[in-house]
Amino acid sequence: MEMSMEKPHVAFLSSPGMGHITPLFELAKRLVLHHGFQVSFLVITTEASAAQTEFFVSSTNDFPPDLHIINIPPVDMSPILTPDMFVLTTLCLIVQESLKPLKNIILELPNRPKALVIDIFCTQAIDVCRDLDIGVYSFFTASTLLLAFSLYLPTLDREMEGEYVDLPEPIQVPGCSPIRTQDLLDMVKNRKIDEYYWYFLHVSRLCSVSGIFANTWDDFEPKSLKALRENEFYRSIQTPPVYPIGPLIKQEEVVTKQDAQILAWLDDQPLNSVLFIAFGSGGTVTSEQLIELAYGIEMSKQKFIWVVRKPSDASASASFFSSGSEENDPSIYLPKGFFERTQKQGILVSSWAAQVAILGHKSTGAFLSHCGWNSSLESMVHGLPMIAWPLYAEQRQNATMLAEEFGLALKPEVVNGKNVIGRKEIENVIRLIIESDEGVKLREMARAMMESSKKALSDGGSSFNALNTMVNMWKTHE
């Protein structure tokens, strides 16, 4: 690997999972293409999903020459991992074991990086970089509200007895919108389990970094950004500077032959008429819920593209580590005759589709999504309202914010006492977002957010300026 000694050099390190890799990689590319940097992108290869492997293999030809991929050697996790571990525990153990040679990996780079940009689950790197006198920056890949909550968590943990979910009132995050206990991040719902330990461990180190990048922009989350900058609590814990540099979303993606056929079908559909349905790279629904969703889609009679994945009754994040590799025959688990009855109405896609290309098509009118932060940003950037269908992690919190605070999404209602959204409710909400006046208003709000995001990223915009501030610091820091 050859590196220019004149160009400033920054390294990146992401935990596994496309939801974290994608935004960090977009920032890495931006530094190389627009700011004249050298970037070393360190990739944890242990237990990598097929989607991650495919991403790095298929994109290699398109990488700019100053963006170097450094694969961290895989580790045998069989003595450590057990089948009953939650996703975050598994992920954090993989990161912990993979980063043991990090110091040597950094020392072997042709020249010392000015900084290392990590995501929230790679904080082991902080101690390594302190020894090497390299500044560490966190890229927080979720909402700024979750960032504010995460910075508040050590205080909450110290001051609170019992479980947060049992609190009678919503949690009042300093200076931010309250978070209802039912919307809390999955990892903090039980303080006695490993997932809580790992999440707490990583967020408690957030104040040790030199700065925090946020994948948002000033006009999208003004309240929580203002709190992080001005609220007395965040000043008292010495919160590092927060740089809102988003929205950074996937710009290019591999368009397969199947994707090309989907886009050709979209070309023939009326403007804003198609509902895109996808639950992210790791999300799954239960067998019962999948049946209700299928009937609801069919009954709505609206055009659709549905990225359908094998259901799981065990976990909503069941495909996190198998993403892109699942064998999948929808005819086995969808209602009998569904495919035949809906052939003219829509398209079923097995497991994976070119999401950005579909969301950006003029015929796509709305997005039924799990409300992962990347997918939410992609929806906003393309001016599409959402049907909010959260599954795990912080997605319930995102859904509430998008629907109730920003007016950019509809939330289907779960009937009391049931864990399943019924087909009639699904039919109604799909019709509402695609063909009603309320749907038109939601679309107008989403289009306004699209224009706002463009302005933030353009020359002189808030996100453009925030990144420039950091770039200039790195360029002048010896």
Low-confidence residues of the chain: pLDDT under 50 = none
**Interhelix angle for 437-457 vs 423-435, to 10°?**
70
pLDDT at residue 42 in the model: 98
DSSP class of 330: G
pLDDT at residue 145 in the model: 98
- Both tokens assigned to 357: 């290309």
Beta bridge partners of 44: 72
DSSP 303-323: EEEEEE----SS-TTTTTTTT
Closest CA to 223 of 188, 173, 183: 173
Closest CA to 159 of 144, 172, 143: 172
Residue indicated by tokens 């501030």: 469
464: left (phi over 0), alpha (psi -120 to 50) or beta: alpha
Would you say 195 and 159 are in contact if contact means Cβ atoms under 8 Å apart? Answer: no
Helix (H) or strand (E) holding 79: none
Phi, psi (5° rounding) for residue 348? -100, 130
Classify strands 9-14 and 38-44 as parallel, antiparallel or unpaired: parallel
pLDDT tens for 73-108 read 999 999 999 999 999 999 999 999 999 999 999 999
* Angstrom distance (rounded) from CA 367 to CA 370: 10
DSSP class of 247: -
Would you say 408 and 447 are in contact if contact means Cβ atoms under 8 Å apart? Answer: no
The three-state DSSP-derived secondary structure of 142-202 is CCHHHHHHHHHHHHHHHHCCCCHHHCCCCECCCCCCCECHHHCCHHHCCCCCHHHHHHHHH
Active site residues: 20, 119
Domains of the chain, start order: 9-245+458-476 (3.40.50.2000), 257-454 (3.40.50.2000)
Beta bridge partners of 290: none
* Rg (the chain; Cα; Å): 22
* Angstrom distance (rounded) from CA 327 to CA 310: 8
DSSP 203-245: HTTGGGSSEEEESS-TTTSHHHHHHHHH-HHHHHTTPPPEEE-
Closest CA to 17 of 101, 169, 137, 121: 121
pLDDT at residue 319 in the model: 54
pLDDT at residue 254 in the model: 81
Q: How many CA atoms within 13 Å lie on the side-chain side of 150?
A: 29
**pTM higher than 0.85 for the full model?**
yes
